[in-house]
């Protein structure tokens, strides 16, 4: 046996052992518990949503275990970097600032932002938005966003930065912002459009306009976790090539 064959055998054995061990690996996925339709805790107290189902499918396919735990959104990247969780799958937009801190998988979804206001009734009793997009985003208006989101960034850069003095009110999660729109404590809330669509269901709230940010979502891991990143990317490639992807898109995102 020449030494090349021996090296090959050694590598093959090492790879085999690696994949056998991979079955035991548990990766912890941190999610925002209030970000439907991507990640939330359902009525039974179980993690649910598009990202939850996608990660579970990938874990199953790629042979690792996943444990999903809720984490406050504004602490989620620090928790990842500190090693409390291994990945974030929770409607996170890939941004240049975040890419300095963490590594993202390939993009898996694209979204715009939506502006939500109260709904009222016109003279005929038809539901109409209380404010227009134009009147909602003006000096003196109070606008709610989830702290540490691209909605906050967008308003700071493009509205406040342009001299329109809206008052930003920061919330732990987007639902609290919607509650405050409902009771009139703030005038509007800005958030990812799919989440806005799910949040206005059964509430006298409406989307009065969208902001075409065209942002793209990815799953985040620590920069040094190249192995997990490769697993997730391969898993994404496989699910997107399978019927499961269309089924989940249909269940969580399109029918929404």
Least distance in angstroms from the C-beta of 166 to ligand ARG: 18
Q: Nearer Cβ to ligand ARG, position 27 or 38?
A: 38
Q: Using CB atoms, what's the residue nearest to ligand ARG?
A: 32
Q: Nearer Cβ to ligand ARG, position 27 or 35?
A: 35
Least distance in angstroms from the C-beta of 175 to ligand ARG: 10
Least distance in angstroms from the C-beta of 42 to ligand ARG: 15
Q: Nearer Cβ to ligand ARG, position 66 or 92?
A: 92
Q: Chain centroid to CA 142: how far?
A: 24
Least distance in angstroms from the C-beta of 192 to ligand ARG: 5
Q: Nearer Cβ to ligand ARG, position 92 or 207?
A: 92
Q: Nearer Cβ to ligand ARG, position 92 or 137?
A: 92
Least distance in angstroms from the C-beta of 113 to ligand ARG: 8
Least distance in angstroms from the C-beta of 63 to ligand ARG: 27
Chain residues that interact with ligand ARG, rule: CB under 6 A: 32, 35, 39, 73, 90-93, 146, 149-150, 192
Alpha-carbon distance of 181 to 248, in angstroms, equals: 30
Angular region, 66: left φ>0, alpha ψ -120 to 50, beta rest: beta
Q: How far is CA 141 from CA 167, 182, 187, 196, in A?
A: 6, 15, 6, 19
Q: Which two tokens stand for residue 203?
A: 């509430």
Q: Nearer Cβ to ligand ARG, position 93 or 130?
A: 93
DSSP β-ladder status, 142-146 and 167-171: parallel
């Amino acid at each position: 046996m020449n030494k090349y064959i021996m090296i090959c055998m050694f590598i093959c054995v090492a790879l085999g052992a690696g994949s056998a061990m991979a079955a035991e690996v548990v990766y912890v996925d941190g999610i925002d518990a209030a970000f439907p339709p991507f990640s939330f805790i359902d009525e039974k107290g179980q993690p649910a949503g598009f990202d939850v189902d996608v990660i579970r499918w990938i874990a199953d396919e790629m042979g690792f275990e996943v444990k999903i735990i809720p984490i406050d959104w504004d602490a989620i990247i620090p928790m990842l970097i500190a090693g409390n969780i291994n990945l974030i799958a929770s409607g996170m937009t890939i941004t240049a600032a975040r890419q300095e801190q963490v590594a993202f998988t390939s993009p898996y979804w694209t979204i715009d932002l939506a502006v939500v206001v109260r709904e009222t009734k016109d003279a005929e009793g038809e539901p109409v938005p209380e404010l227009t997009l134009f009147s909602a985003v003006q000096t003196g208006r109070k606008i709610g966003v989830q702290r540490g989101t691209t909605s906050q960034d967008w308003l700071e850069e493009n509205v406040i930065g342009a001299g329109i003095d809206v008052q930003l009110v920061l919330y732990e999660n987007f639902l609290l912002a919607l509650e405050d729109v409902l009771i009139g404590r703030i005038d509007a809330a800005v958030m990812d459009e799919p989440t806005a669509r799910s949040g206005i269901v059964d509430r006298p709230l409406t989307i009065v306009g969208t902001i075409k940010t065209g942002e793209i979502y990815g799953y985040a891991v620590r920069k040094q976790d190249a192995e997990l990143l490769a697993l997730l990317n391969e898993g994404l490639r496989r699910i997107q090539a399978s019927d499961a992807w269309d089924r989940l898109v249909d269940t969580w995102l399109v029918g929404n």
